[in-house]
Amino acid sequence: MDKDSSASAVEAGWQTVRDDGRVRPELLEAAYAEPLLRPLFPWTGMSELHFSRCTGGRWTWDIPYVLPVVGGTYWVAGPLRTETVGPAATPREAIAMVIERLPPGCDRAFVGTPEELAAHEARTRNQGADGA
């Protein structure tokens, strides 16, 4: 995976999320300011801010996401829709809750789909096992 391609795709994703206006600007600022989230691919759904470990459509669902709550607070859920993390009073608190629950080895987004990411990770594991 080319680091420059990943960075370009991710930055374009952040710009798209900013431009679509569905996520509170203060939440976007807090997420983008976080070095562990900035290299992930952001996407929105129903005013929620999601993060993906790949840039291709359907994205990954292994990172918690943040929902706005009436009154200016937030709710952190996920990574699956059936899982909840809890309430957050501020954007920074919500982002901290996401950071605490990042999957192991989570770094910059992979350029491709979830299936391509899974295949890449399997190859990487196999290469590591072969070199051990």
Categorize the per-residue pLDDT at 77 as very low, low, confident or very high, splitting at 50, 70 and 90.
very high
- 41 forms bridges with which residues in the sheet? 52
Predicted confidence (pLDDT) per residue in 34-72, tens digit: 999 999 999 998 899 999 999 998 899 999 999 999 999
Global pTM reads 0.90
C-alpha closest to that of 96 among 52, 36, 50, 48: 36
C-alpha closest to that of 97 among 108, 107, 83: 83
CA–chain centroid gap for 28, Å, is 12
Predicted confidence (pLDDT) per residue in 4-20, tens digit: 898 999 999 999 999 99
- Contact, 97 vs 85, CB < 8 A? yes
* Calpha distance 54→31 (Å, rounded): 17
